[in-house]
Amino acid sequence: MAATIRDIKKVTGLSLATISKYLNGGNLLPENREKIERAIEELHYEVNEMARGLVTSQSKTVGVVVFDIANVFVCTVLQYLGDGLRAAGYAAMICDSHNDPLQEADNIRFLMGKQVDGLIVLPVAQTSDFLNPPIRAGIPVVLLDRSLGDSRVDCVKVDNQTAAAEALRLLVEYGHRRIAIIGSDTVITGKERLEGCFQLLKEMNLAVPPEYLKLGNHSIEHGYQSMWELLRLRKPPTAVFLGNFEIILGAVMAVNESEFRCPADLSIVGFDDLIVSNLSNPRLSVVVQPLRSMADETVRLLLRRIEDIRNAGSNPDAEQEPHMELSLRAQIVEGGSIAHIKCSGRAVNSN
Amino acid sequence: MAATIRDIKKVTGLSLATISKYLNGGNLLPENREKIERAIEELHYEVNEMARGLVTSQSKTVGVVVFDIANVFVCTVLQYLGDGLRAAGYAAMICDSHNDPLQEADNIRFLMGKQVDGLIVLPVAQTSDFLNPPIRAGIPVVLLDRSLGDSRVDCVKVDNQTAAAEALRLLVEYGHRRIAIIGSDTVITGKERLEGCFQLLKEMNLAVPPEYLKLGNHSIEHGYQSMWELLRLRKPPTAVFLGNFEIILGAVMAVNESEFRCPADLSIVGFDDLIVSNLSNPRLSVVVQPLRSMADETVRLLLRRIEDIRNAGSNPDAEQEPHMELSLRAQIVEGGSIAHIKCSGRAVNSN
DNA sequence: CTGTTAGCGCATTCAA
DNA sequence: TTGAATGCGCTAACAG
């Protein structure tokens, strides 16, 4: 059905090699070049990447395995990843793990069968065993968002601990002492953020009373429920740290439904902000992850590895560059959701 | 690097054909079967789908082109599509069009180069010209969510017009007369929903005053701004129809920030509901699109076409089945966001 | 049930 | 600069 270079050969009278050279950017006579271009136009010829891949043993394809494709954070990252990959001529085969380690491992196998040149993984598993097959097969892997402490792969993430600590520091600097935390201890990123919170509080000689500490998963429900519980406390907190986007969304809805106003009655600082802060009134003060940079770095690292492997083909005992963990700094963007506090009581200035 | 069937041949002493037959589920002596299985285990052998594809001219891959991958509706659909495709052994190559027709056309070309067996498109273009290349190449295309009125491709969508009309009918039946509409006229689905609204209002001999009609795009901002404008009106509406998910999100946040309570002061019915309604209080009454079914039907249609083409290979002048447009019914799920109204004034019963 | 052979569409030697 | 020949890893006849 589709035209091949043999068809072009028939039309132009040139040889396969010449045509192939044209396709791969070689030098040839302008006259021949034109002939080929006309034939391509006529025949609607397109390179068969499968055949090309068989020869070059490169599929120009990378597998992207995500813990949950319906997650807003994931979608956004996926967009940037796709852009970067595409710009380099790579197609992304995206597989959803549904937050299930078994499906994750299966996705890896599946994609290996599809001959992906590399793998980008936003992992759900807590250990890196599931990466053995690609590593053994020599397929480069870059972990994104969540590190697994495996030195055999590269990893790009955000310094969650420091970022969370700085967010809390902000609250303390504004004078807050009764600080609540709604976070998650079910995934590594959530744990790191909690760690950062605790560390700063300790440094400041502050403590979180148990009723101010709401641990759960990264879900809207958790944020919504927990916030209501906090607001109904006899002595509610004056400020609250929200551990991720879903929690923010749920918590902000709870606040809006309540009598409490932000920041007069309750100050808020959040982690991740994909939607809410731009239109909530006042704008939220949030830790913003550099999603674009994370994606770009991930793609850059992966493509470099792929390149290296390609070159190592001719150079058998080439030195393998050591793997790295890139920890990017998140940025705090101040909105108006934190009020200044005098003593330990009411808000004084809503900034 | 990776093992091939020739390696298995060396280890087992069997011929390529036998091994190939094993891989494709043929019958062979249990003894040989075991030998092969052991060799596969040992060598970590995996079929090279690229080589297989070159022979069968099937990549077991489909391209999915979406208007905006960061969109929540899209993500959800993508999840279901991925599941269905995967179950059939197909990988999904997902490309984002960034709501740009040019990128959309480019995505199609790109994916054709990758030898996809079929294409699923959530289109941004208003005409179907960009589908000429795949159609000419004999690559089946299924449109999803948005129809383009092209009889050369299949299409799966929701009956937006009827669904919107029924949503409005609900408001009218509850006694509402002062009904506002926040919708979109920039995309086809939005237009269809508006069409449905107008049609029903006409049928009911009602009209929407200009200040009650808020047209814009499908964005949170539009929902938020428009809702505030409505609420600030000297004579605000008693009920409002919200045209899609983003609009709902923005509008609900506006209402929550205001003095208005739902449904006592304002009744709400919305279209699409991916997040909000489960936790807003009261739960929203919404038109729910059968996303799972839409995805399943899309995959089913596409795979059937691919199958047909495969079989037609041997049967040159096989009858091409006519293309179809599947219009699924959306369902109205009632929450508690619509109040009964007596006369034309205040809410009477919050249901 | 098994083996032999040919070829999918292309890139890449090596000669010319 | 161009052309002829070879093989990437696999499937699909066909013959045994």
pLDDT the model gives residue B277 = 66
Cβ within 8 Å, pair B46-A79: no
Distance from CA of A67 to the nearest CA of B (A): 11
CA distance B209 to B212: 5
Residue spans of the domains in chain B: they are 5-47, 61-158+291-328, 160-289+332-350
Per-residue pLDDT at A154 exceeds 70:
yes
Summary mean pLDDT of chain A:
90
Interface test with chain B among A77, A279, A292, by most B beta carbons within 10 Å:
A279
Asked if pLDDT for residue A347 goes beyond 90, the answer is: no
Chain A interface disruption, residue of B72, B75, B247, B260, most A CBs within 10 A: B75
Q: How many CB atoms lie within 10 A of CB B68?
A: 19
d(CA A350, CA B8): 73
Q: Which helix (H) or strand (E) holds A218?
A: none
How far A163 CA lies from chain B's nearest CA (Å)?
25
What pLDDT shows up at residue A311? 77
Tell whether the model's pLDDT for residue A344 goes beyond 70: no
Residue of A nearest to B249 (CA): A276
Which homologous superfamily does the CATH classification assign to the domain defined by A160-289+332-350?
Answer: Response regulator (3.40.50.2300)
Residue nearest to nucleotide D5 (CA to C1'): A17
Tokens of A122: 């936003």
For residue B29, the model assigns a pLDDT of 87
Q: Which helix (H) or strand (E) holds A216?
A: strand A213-216
Measuring CA to CA, how many Å separate A287 from each of A75, A76, A275, A334, B253?
Answer: 18, 16, 13, 9, 21
Task: Report how far residue B46's alpha carbon sits from residue B298's, in angstroms, rounded to the nearest whole number.
Answer: 30
Higher pLDDT: B304 or A342? It is B304
Using a CB-CB cut-off of 8 Å, the residues of chain A touching B109 are 46
Class of domain A61-158+291-328: alpha beta
Q: In angstroms, how far is C11 C1' from A56 CA? A: 7
Q: Which residues lie across from B341 on neighbouring strands?
A: B347
- Say if residue A135 is exposed, middle or buried (CB neighbours under 10 Å; 0-12, 13-18, 19+): middle
C-alpha–C-alpha distance, residues B141 and B121, integer Å: 7
Residues 13-32 of B with CB under 7 A from strand D: 16-17, 20, 23-24
Strand C nucleotides, any atom under 7 Å to a protein CB: 1-14
Question: Alpha-carbon distance B159 to A58, whole Å?
Answer: 44
Q: Residue A72: which residues within 8 A CB-CB, separation 6 or more? A: A245, A246, A274, A275, B70, B72, B75
Tell me which chain B residue has its CA closest to the CA of residue A62. Answer: B93
Question: Do B97 and B105 meet the contact criterion of CB atoms below 8 Å apart?
Answer: no
Parallel, antiparallel or unpaired: strands B347-349 and B340-341: antiparallel
If you search the block for the tokens 């040019």, which residue do you land on?
A: B102
* Partners of residue A85 in chain B, C-beta under 8 Å: none
Partner-chain contact A75 B72, CB within 8 Å: yes
Q: How far apart are CA A276 and CA A182, in angstroms?
A: 17
Is B314 buried (19+), middle (13-18) or exposed (0-12) by CB count in 10 A? exposed
Q: How far is CA B100 from CA A275, A332, B58, B112, B183, in A?
A: 22, 32, 29, 19, 21
The candidate with the shortest Cα–Cα distance to A157, out of A193, A129, A185, A181, is: A193
Which pTM value belongs to this model?
Answer: 0.92
Give the tens place of pLDDT for each residue, A185-239. 999 999 999 999 999 999 999 999 999 999 999 998 999 999 999 999 999 999 9
> In the Cβ-directed half-sphere of A141, how many Cα atoms lie within 13 Å?
25
Ranking A157-161, A213-217, A342-346, B123-127 by mean pLDDT, the lowest is: A342-346
Does residue B147 contact residue B160 with C-beta atoms inside 8 Å?
Answer: no
- pLDDT at position A75 is 94
**Residue A345 predicted with pLDDT over 50:** no
What confidence category does residue A114 fall into, taking pLDDT thresholds of 50, 70 and 90? very high
> For residue A70, what is the DSSP state?
T
Asked whether residue B5, judged by its CB, lies under 7 Å from any atom of the DNA or RNA strand D, the reply is yes
Distance (Å, whole) CA B36 – CA B42: 10
| Angle, CA of B262, A233 and A171, to the nearest 5° | 95
Label residue B97 left, alpha or beta by phi (over 0 means left) and psi (-120 to 50 means alpha). Answer: alpha
Q: Pick the residue from chain B with its C-alpha nearest to A254.
A: B280
Give strand D nucleotides closer than 7 A to any protein Cβ: 1-14
C-alpha to C-alpha distances, B96 to A12, A106, A291, B109, B322, nearest whole angstrom:
37, 25, 17, 13, 29
Q: Do B114 and A137 touch (CB under 8 A)?
A: no
Rg for chain A (alpha carbons), in Å?
26
Residue B310 DSSP class: H
CB A26 within 7 Å, strand D: yes
**pLDDT at residue A290 in the model:** 95
Q: What pairing do the DSSP bridges indicate for beta strands A213-216 and A239-242? A: unpaired
Of A48, A137, A276, the CB nearest to B115: A48
Residue A98 has pLDDT above 50, yes or no: yes
Helices A72-87 & A291-312 angle (0-180, nearest 10): 40
Please write the tens of the pLDDT for every residue from A282-327.
889 999 999 999 999 999 999 999 988 877 765 555 567 899 999 9
Q: What is the structure's pLDDT at A315?
A: 58
User: What spatial distance separates the first Cα and last Cα of chain A, rounded to whole Å?
Assistant: 68
- Give the C-alpha separation, B93 to B130, whole Å: 18
**Which positions in chain A touch B231 (Cβ < 8 Å)?**
none
**pLDDT (0 to 100) of residue B279:** 64
Query: What SS3 state is found at B184?
Result: strand
Element of type H or E holding A94: strand A91-96
The rounded percent of chain A whose pLDDT value lies above 70 is 93
Does the nearest atom of strand D lie within 7 Å of A29's Cβ?
A: yes
pLDDT in tens, chain B (351 residues): 688 999 999 889 888 889 998 998 878 888 888 988 999 998 888 899 999 999 988 999 999 999 999 988 999 999 999 999 999 999 999 999 999 999 999 999 999 989 999 999 999 999 999 999 999 889 999 999 999 999 999 999 999 999 999 999 999 999 999 999 999 999 999 999 999 999 999 999 999 999 999 999 999 899 999 999 999 999 999 999 999 999 998 998 899 888 999 999 999 999 987 676 666 778 899 999 999 999 999 999 999 999 888 777 655 555 678 999 999 999 999 989 999 987 544 444 433
Single out the residue of A201, A175, A231 nearest to residue A351, CA to CA.
Answer: A175
CB B14 under 7 Å to nucleic chain C? yes
Q: In sequence order, which residues have a C-beta less than 8 Å from that of residue B138 and are 6 or more positions away?
A: A1, B309
* Length of chain A, in residues: 351
Using a CB-CB cut-off of 8 Å, the residues of chain A touching B91 are 93, 95, 110-111, 114
Which pLDDT score is estimated for B27?
Answer: 84
Residue that is written with structure tokens 């590593």 in the block:
A135
Cα gap A17→A36, rounded to integer Å: 12
Give the per-residue pLDDT at B346: 45
Query: In chain B, what is the greatest distance between 2 CA atoms, to the nearest angstrom?
Result: 89
- Which nucleotide lies closest to A18 by the C1' atom and the CA atom? D2
Residue A313, classed as helix, strand or coil, is coil
pLDDT at A22 exceeding the cut of 60? yes
What residues of chain A lie within 8 A of the CB of B80, using their CB? Answer: none
The residue ranges of DSSP E strands in chain B, in sequence order, are: 61-66, 91-96, 118-121, 141-144, 154-158, 179-184, 213-216, 239-242, 267-271, 285-288, 325-328, 331-333, 340-341, 347-349
| pLDDT for position A351 | 38
**Residue B107 main-chain phi, psi, to 5 deg:** -60, -40
Q: For residues B216 and B221, what is the distance between their CA atoms, to the nearest angstrom?
A: 10
Q: Which pLDDT does position A157 carry in this prediction?
A: 96
Contact by Cβ (8 Å): A328, A273: no
